Amino acid sequence: MKGIRSMHAKLPKESAPSNLVCVGLMATIAAGLLVSGPVTAGELRYSVSWLGNSFSGADNKWVQNFFIHTKIQPDGTVNTWSHWDEGGKKFGVYKNGDVIGNQDVKPNSLETTDKSGRKWKIEFDYVEPKFHEYDFKPKGVTCDGKPVKFPDLFEPMALAMANDGQLMIADSQTGPRQQVLFYDISNPDQPKLTRAFGEYGGIAAGKPGEVAPAKFWGIRGIGMDAEGNLYVATSEMGSCLRKFTPDGKLLWELRGDFFVDLVCADPTTDGRDVWGIQEHYVMDYAQSAGKESRLVGYSLDRHKYPNDPRGLTFVKQNGEHGLTSPQVVYLDGHRFLFVGGMFASNFINIFRYDGEIAIPSGLILQWGNDLYRTDQKWPPHKPGGKASIWRDLNGDGDYQPDEFAPNTDRVHPGPFWVDKKGNIWMAYGFFRYDFQGLDPKGNPIYSADKITVLDPSQGVKKIARVVYLDDSDTLIVADEGSDMRHIGRVSICKGYLAGNRQTVSFESAAGKETACVAAAGDFVFTGGWKERGRTFVNRISDGAAMGVFEPGPTVGGVENTGWIDILTGISAFQRADGEYLVFVEEDYKAKVLMYRWKP
C-alpha cells in the first residue's frame, strides 16, 4: 500500500510458545471437545494509520482534547488551556500549523481588557455547578462589572480585542449565529455591531452539516495577531483551531476530533465513507498514513436540536462518558446512526439523517435511573424510574411527553449490535428488538412487545458482548469476565438462525484485559484496556489465533496509545477487494487507529 509503512506482526509472549502452538487459543466446540491438532499462527502483514487528529501522537505531537480557553500572541503563537486532555497536554502551544510546546500562560477566553483599560467579561452560570466540564450558559457581557447590552448578540462564548480597538465576541453554543462579531466600543454603554466573520448559522449554513472553513460551531476561543490574522478555536467533543488572513482566507487548520470515541465504515460505499458520532470522513486509501481521511461533514446542529445528547457533556450514566461507538445501518434505503455509551450503554440513541445532519430519532433507555453525577435531567419528559422507549413521533427531533412508551422488563444495560435488517441484538438478557419498519416521520419503530428472546449457543455462560454477521448467519458472543467491563471466552456459532447451536471458542490473547469484540468477513478482532492499541486476530472458522496488530512507529509505538476503555472500542469492515479495515479507539492522543490488512 503506497506510502504506508508495512508492519510484521508478532504474537505476544503469553500466547506464543516457541513452537507457535497457541495454548489456550485452540478452537473448542461447545461440548468441550478440542479440535484435533495444534493451531499455528501465521505472519500478518498490515499497515498502521490514524484519523481524527492532525498529528499521529509520535514525537510528542497531537492536538489536545478540549480548547476551553485560548490566547493569541502578537507573533501568532496560540496558547490553549484544557480542563482535561487524556495524554496530559493541559496547556497547548501552537504556531504556523504546528504543535510547538506545552506551557501555561493562563489564557482566559471569557475576559479581555481594552486600550482604555476597561475590563470586559462574560458573566455565566455553569450548566452543572457541582461536576461541570466547563460547559456554561452565558448571562451577558459586563464592562468593569456593569452589564452592557450588545445588539444582535445571542450567546457570547469568548472575547478578544481586535487591533483597531474593537471588541471581538464569539456568538456560538446553541445560538443561531455561530460567528465572530466585531463591536465598536468607543461608547462602552452603546456598542455598535460593525461586522461579522463566518457564515451566519455556522455548520447549519448553506448545505447544513457540510464542512467549510468559515462554517463554525462550538466557538470557545478567538483572537487576532499583530498582522491582523484571525484565529478561531472550536471545542464540542472535538477540538479545531483555524487561522485566517485578514480578508478571511483559511491559512491552516489543526484538528483533534475525538475524545473516547470510535468510527465505523459505511457498508454501502465499500468503506469510502467513515462515520463518527458527529463526523463524516471521505477516505482516499491511496494516500500516506494519516492523510487518507478528509472531514466533509459534521452532523450535530445544537441550535436546531438543543437537546441532542451529543452536545451535552452531562449526558452520561454509570460513570461513563456519554455517547460512543457508532454503527451506521441503512433501513429501507435511509441511513441511521445507532450510538451506545462508554461502559454500560445505558441508553441506545438512534439518529436519522437529513443530508449531513443527524436528527434525534429514537432512544432506548435500558434503565430508569437518573444521569451520573449531575442534577440535570435528560431526556426532557423522561418517565421517572422506568426503562422506556422514545420515538420522535412529531418529527421535531425533541423529546415530548407523549412520545415515550414502556420498555420490556427484560432489558439490562449493556452492549448491543444492530444487524442489516435493523434488529437490535442485546447482549445482557440475550434478546432482540425486532425492527418494525419506519413510521411516517422516518423513524425506526421498536416496541417492548416486539422482541425475540434468543437461545444462547452451546457452552456460553453469561453473554456480555454480541455481534451478528448477516451474510454468513454467524453469531459471535463473549462471556462476561471479572465484571461487565471485561470478557472471557469468545464463542462463534455459524448458522445460528438456521438452527445450529454448536460453537468454536477461544480466549483472546489480551487475556483478562479483554473488553472488545468486533468481526467482519472471516475474522474476529479483540482487544482492551491495558493492551492499549494492540488488536488480536482470530479466525471465525475454527477460532485459531492469527496474530496481533501492533501500533508501530507511525503512531509512536504502543506506548503512545492508550487503553481501549470503552466496551465497543473496535469496529471492523471487509472491503470488496478482501482488505480489512479495523478501527480502534485511541484516546491517549485524541484519535482513532486504523489497521489495514489483506490476508
**pLDDT tens by residue, 285-315:** 999 999 999 999 999 999 999 999 999 988 9
Task: Give the residue carrying C-alpha cell 471479572.
Answer: 482
CATH number for the domain harbouring residue 211:
2.40.10.500
Average pLDDT (320-337) is 93
Residue 133 has a pLDDT of 82
Residue 433 has pLDDT above 70, yes or no: yes
Residue 344 has a pLDDT of 65
Residue 264 has pLDDT above 90, yes or no: yes
96 and 29 fall within a common domain: no
Bridge partner residues of 331 (DSSP): 334
- Confidence category of residue 384, pLDDT binned at 50, 70, 90: confident
465 and 374 fall within a common domain: yes
Does residue 58 belong to any structural domain of this protein?
no
185 and 125 fall within a common domain: yes
Bridge partner residues of 238 (DSSP): none
Distances, alpha carbon 40 to alpha carbons 11, 489, 504, in Å: 11, 19, 16
Give percent of the chain with pLDDT exceeding 90: 85
- Confidence category of residue 410, pLDDT binned at 50, 70, 90: very high
Average pLDDT (512-532) is 96
Question: Given the DSSP bridges, would you call strands 416-418 and 404-406 parallel, antiparallel or unpaired?
Answer: unpaired
Query: What is the C-alpha separation between 182 and 347, in angstroms, rounded?
Result: 42
Domain boundary among 254, 279, 301: 254
More confident residue, 20 or 68: 68
Average pLDDT (230-257) is 97
Residue 412 Cα to chain centre, angstroms = 23
Average pLDDT (108-119) is 98
Distances, alpha carbon 359 to alpha carbons 65, 300, 306, 455, in Å: 25, 8, 11, 34
Query: What is the C-alpha separation between 108 and 351, in angstroms, rounded?
Result: 35
Grid cell at residue 574: 471487509
Average pLDDT (463-474) is 98
454 and 375 fall within a common domain: yes
Query: What is the C-alpha separation between 246 and 260, in angstroms, rounded?
Result: 36
pTM listed for this prediction: 0.92
Residue 14 has pLDDT above 80, yes or no: no
Report the C-alpha dihedral over residues 409, 410, 413, 416, rounded to 10 degrees: -130
Grid cell at residue 599: 490476508
Bridge partner residues of 273 (DSSP): 282
Average pLDDT (272-288) is 98
Instruction: Work out how many domains the chain is built from and give that number.
Output: 2
Residue 342 has a pLDDT of 86
327 and 303 fall within a common domain: yes
205 and 284 fall within a common domain: no
Residue 464 has pLDDT above 90, yes or no: yes
Residue 16 has pLDDT above 60, yes or no: no
183 and 292 fall within a common domain: no
Lowest-pLDDT range of 72-76, 191-195, 367-371, 390-394? 367-371
Within a 10 A sphere around the Cβ of 207, how many other Cβ atoms?
Answer: 13
Residue 211 has a pLDDT of 98
Residue 407 has pLDDT above 70, yes or no: yes
List the one residue out of 523, 528, 532 whose CA is nearest residue 597.
523
**Residue 531: which residues within 8 A CB-CB, separation 6 or more?**
510, 513, 514, 563, 564
245 and 277 fall within a common domain: no
Residue 277 has pLDDT above 80, yes or no: yes
Residue 317 has a pLDDT of 65
Query: What is the C-alpha separation between 48 and 106, in angstroms, rounded?
Result: 37
Residue 367 has a pLDDT of 83
398 and 526 fall within a common domain: yes
Report the C-alpha dihedral over residues 25, 548, 276, 467, rounded to 10 degrees: -20
- The one-letter code for the residue type at 392 is D
Query: What is the C-alpha separation between 203 and 174, in angstroms, rounded?
Result: 12
The beta strands (E) that lie in 259-344 are given as 264-265, 273-275, 279-283, 293-298, 324-331, 334-340
225 and 271 fall within a common domain: no
Domain, as residue range, for 127: 63-254
- Confidence category of residue 131, pLDDT binned at 50, 70, 90: confident
Residue 325 has pLDDT above 90, yes or no: yes
Query: What is the C-alpha separation between 488 and 485, in angstroms, rounded?
Result: 11
Does residue 383 belong to any structural domain of this protein?
yes
Lowest-pLDDT range of 8-22, 144-158, 514-528, 564-578? 8-22
Average pLDDT (571-582) is 98
CB-based contact 484:464 (threshold 8 Å): yes
Average pLDDT (453-474) is 97
- Confidence category of residue 27, pLDDT binned at 50, 70, 90: very low
CATH number for the domain harbouring residue 304:
2.130.10
Query: What is the C-alpha separation between 506 and 489, in angstroms, rounded?
Result: 6
Lowest-pLDDT range of 275-279, 381-385, 444-448? 381-385
**pLDDT tens by residue, 250-259:** 999 999 999 9
Does residue 1 belong to any structural domain of this protein?
no
3-state secondary structure string across 78-100: EEEECCCCCCCCCEEEEECCEEE
Does residue 300 belong to any structural domain of this protein?
yes
Domain boundary among 202, 229, 254: 254
Average pLDDT (319-324) is 78
**pLDDT tens by residue, 334-352:** 999 999 988 766 889 999 9
CB-based contact 121:162 (threshold 8 Å): no
19 and 125 fall within a common domain: no
Q: What are phi and psi of 552, to 5 degrees?
A: -105, -165
Grid cell at residue 103: 506551557
- The one-letter code for the residue type at 201 is G
Distances, alpha carbon 133 to alpha carbons 68, 243, 349, 403, 508, in Å: 10, 26, 22, 30, 36
Domain boundary among 232, 254, 276: 254
325 and 473 fall within a common domain: yes
Looking at every residue in the chain, the average pLDDT score rounds to 91
- Confidence category of residue 42, pLDDT binned at 50, 70, 90: low
Does residue 333 belong to any structural domain of this protein?
yes
- Confidence category of residue 8, pLDDT binned at 50, 70, 90: very low
